[in-house]
A and B are shown apart, each in its own frame.
Chain A
Amino acid sequence: MARILVEDIKKTFGKFVALKSVTMEVADGEFTVLLGPSGCGKTTLLRIIAGLETADRGEVRIGERRVDHLPPRSRNIAMVFQNYAVFPHMTVFENITFGLRMQKRGSEEEIRRTARWAAELVHIESQLDKYTGQLSGGQRQRVAVARALAVRPQVLLMDEPLSNLDALLRLEMRAELKTILRECATTTIYVTHDQVEAMSLADRIAIMHGGEIEQYDTPLEIYRNPATLFCGGFIGSPPMNFLEAEAVAPGRWRIGDFELAGPAEGARLLLGIRPEDLEPAGEGEPALVGTVQVVEPLGSHLLATLRLDGRLLRFAGDADLPLRPGDTLRLRPRADRLRWFDPESERAVRS
């Protein structure tokens, strides 16, 4: 049993606050993805959990143990470093077996077998005798992943482990990682920039922004119900549309000439709507009316950018829609997919 509990972690570097107050629980065997823009503190949080950095305040538990004061090697973890940190003076084989040898785990025969298993998982078994200095960046990265997998840790921390692989290999390894880690019930925290990777791998995603976790939930829930403007704008490609709405009566809101039902409270709110949750409106129906600016046929669907009272609105529709730049398009948001945000606090408002 190795759940991870991070509570009220704060970390500063000099005057710079890297983590404000981070609280997060990763259940035993769960796959959590840390997703956020560059510099938001993902690596810092991972390093604190690993014990490579000391938090200013707060506590970290792994399993039932409080580990704040334990050195990294006593925390029962393995880690894939963002910059790989594979040892240049050792061969690929020696790198992969490093953890097993340090922890004196198993006979020589078992160690060899595990190393081969790990190397095959990341397709590096033909390079076992090479020094890592002779490898490409992507190969080195895979050695780092194999080194971590080889110790079969209870807790695995991975800092952008696939960032340097080509698209095809990344897709393949992503699927394999997910399978293995599920089989081994490894509690995993996985850092990435790539939202597709996050959505496809995670049991739960933690969206980080400016040293805080803004939302921590299942991929679908984050997609459907972003907790903040940032989450809505960060997840989804293209991101959620935000339209300014004015209250006309309690529970009635107006965007330009379009009126719709919404939350009872407030005078000004932002309506959040995903591009694919807009539908062409019939004649005479109330609608958002815009001028098509750009049309991007993407094969599976069609993406249009509209101008609407000086704002841009993205719409994803059927690939066969006969749209051309300059056309006027009437759109209606799906009523069950409306999300409302307070522009002041930037947080979601329940409707």
Chain B
Amino acid sequence: MTGERALPYLLLAPSLLFLALLFLWPLAEAFLVAFSGPGGQWSLVNFREMAEDLNFADAVRNTLLLVAVVVPIQLALALGLGVLLGSLDRGRDGFLYIWTIPLGISDLAAGILWLAMLSERGYLNSLLAALGLVEGPVLWLSYETPLALFLAVVVAEVWRATAIVLVILVAGMQLIPKEYYEAAEVFGAGAFQRFRRITLPLLKPSIQTALILRTILAFEVFAVVVVLGGRDLPVLAGEAFAWQYDYRNAGVASAYAVLILTVSLAATWLYLRLLRVREESLA
């Protein structure tokens, strides 16, 4: 009897160990480094240094803005595409495969791809010149055009990572029984009402999962930004990288890491609260 009860724990143990070794330990290490002063004593000096840095305010603002712009766009796009896919009789899987291709590309490669399009001698400038809309090559991705740079990052991120939201939402939508839509339609609900009264509430768990996943990843946005803008568009993860490898200051880099973790946890907690699904309403 006791053996039977212990079995699940035994089976889970290796993965737990794995997680502890590769995740919890480095995490604890990062915390230690972030909160220790030059002499090794407990101190907030790293955080002070981080906050007093010129780029810090920009990095916080840019990261938050990116999350605030990219995640809602992705959610809206994925919802729209998901509903469209749901109304297809056939070919749904084909479309889904095509849209998920960007998922298979690393974010660095994605950044380089967009760089090729948006750089001075890129496709966009060639196209605009061919159409006679611009005189010569325009510099889109520089610190002098922060808005264009920001938009470029938004576009690249949306292109790259909307598919994961789409996949999660489509999987969720397929779990909603067809009868609910039929009943709603018989009782007078139009397409929008069916979306609002049936799809959205029943899709809540999937939306929650997708939002948490995407938001956490968006707080860590790094490679795409670095490729497109270097440090012209400072973001939190980029600053952590710069402090670690350019300034050789592991303390401040760890402080950034702790900050990112805290913000991500806060966002997750918020989603869990706001999108709570009443247990009794799950049939």
Residues of A within 8 A of B (CB): 50, 52, 71-73, 77-79, 81, 83, 85-90, 98-99, 102-103, 130-134, 147, 151
Residues of B within 8 A of A (CB): 177, 179-180, 182-190, 193, 197-198, 201-202, 278, 280-283
Q: How far is the CA of A102 from the CA of B183 in the complex (A)?
A: 12
Contact B188 A87 (CB under 8 A): no
Contact A87 B282 (CB under 8 A): no
Q: Find the A residue at minimum CB distance from B187.
A: A99
12 A-B pairs with CB atoms under 8 Å apart are A50-B186, A72-B186, A73-B187, A81-B183, A87-B184, A98-B184, A98-B187, A99-B187, A102-B184, A102-B193, A132-B283, A133-B281
Which residues of chain B are within 8 angstroms of A85 by Cβ–Cβ distance?
177, 179-180, 182-183
Q: How far is the CA of A98 from the CA of B201 in the complex (A)?
A: 15
Q: How far is the CA of A134 from the CA of B184 in the complex (A)?
A: 21
Contact B187 A81 (CB under 8 A): no
Contact A52 B280 (CB under 8 A): no
Which residues of chain B are within 8 angstroms of A132 by Cβ–Cβ distance?
283
Q: How far is the CA of A178 from the CA of B113 in the complex (A)?
A: 70
Q: Which of B188, B202, B280 contacts A73 (CB 8 A)?
A: B188
Contact A73 B283 (CB under 8 A): no
Contact B186 A79 (CB under 8 A): yes
Looking at A86, A98, A130, A134, which has the most chain B CB atoms within 10 Å of its CB?
Answer: A98
Contact B179 A89 (CB under 8 A): no
Which residues of chain A are within 8 angstroms of B184 by Cβ–Cβ distance?
87, 98, 102
Contact B183 A73 (CB under 8 A): no
Q: How far is the CA of A103 from the CA of B187 in the complex (A)?
A: 8
Contact A102 B189 (CB under 8 A): yes
Q: How far is the CA of A52 from the CA of B187 in the complex (A)?
A: 12
Q: How far is the CA of A102 from the CA of B189 in the complex (A)?
A: 6
Give me the 4 closest cross-chain CB pairs, A-B, nearest first.
A88-B283, A102-B188, A99-B187, A85-B179
Which residues of chain B are within 8 angstroms of A71 by Cβ–Cβ distance?
185
Looking at B183, B193, B278, B280, which has the most chain A CB atoms within 10 Å of its CB?
Answer: B183
Q: How far is the CA of A133 from the CA of B282 in the complex (A)?
A: 6
Looking at B180, B190, B202, which has the most chain A CB atoms within 10 Å of its CB?
Answer: B180
Q: Report the minimum CB–CB distance from B31 to chain A (whole Å).
A: 41
Contact B182 A102 (CB under 8 A): no
Contact A78 B282 (CB under 8 A): no
Looking at A71, A72, A79, which has the most chain B CB atoms within 10 Å of its CB?
Answer: A72
Which residues of chain A are within 8 angstroms of B198 by Cβ–Cβ distance?
87
Q: How far is the CA of A133 from the CA of B179 in the complex (A)?
A: 15
Contact A87 B180 (CB under 8 A): yes
Q: Given contacts A88-B282, A131-B280, A133-B281, is CB(A99)–CB(B188) below 8 Å?
A: yes
Q: How far is the CA of A156 from the CA of B248 in the complex (A)?
A: 76
Q: How far is the CA of A79 from the CA of B257 in the complex (A)?
A: 57
Q: A85-B180, A86-B183 are in contact. List 10 more A-B contacts (CB 8 A).
A: A72-B185, A78-B186, A79-B183, A81-B183, A85-B179, A87-B180, A102-B193, A131-B280, A134-B280, A147-B187
Q: How far is the CA of A142 from the CA of B187 in the complex (A)?
A: 16
Q: How far is the CA of A83 from the CA of B283 in the complex (A)?
A: 13
Q: Find the A residue at minimum CB distance from B278.
A: A131
Q: How far is the CA of A131 from the CA of B278 in the complex (A)?
A: 10
Which residues of chain A are within 8 angstroms of B188 by Cβ–Cβ distance?
73, 99, 102-103, 151
Which residues of chain B are within 8 angstroms of A86 by Cβ–Cβ distance?
183
Q: Given contacts A89-B281, A131-B278, A133-B281, is CB(A81)–CB(B182) below 8 Å?
A: yes
Q: How far is the CA of A71 from the CA of B180 in the complex (A)?
A: 16
Q: How far is the CA of A102 from the CA of B179 in the complex (A)?
A: 17
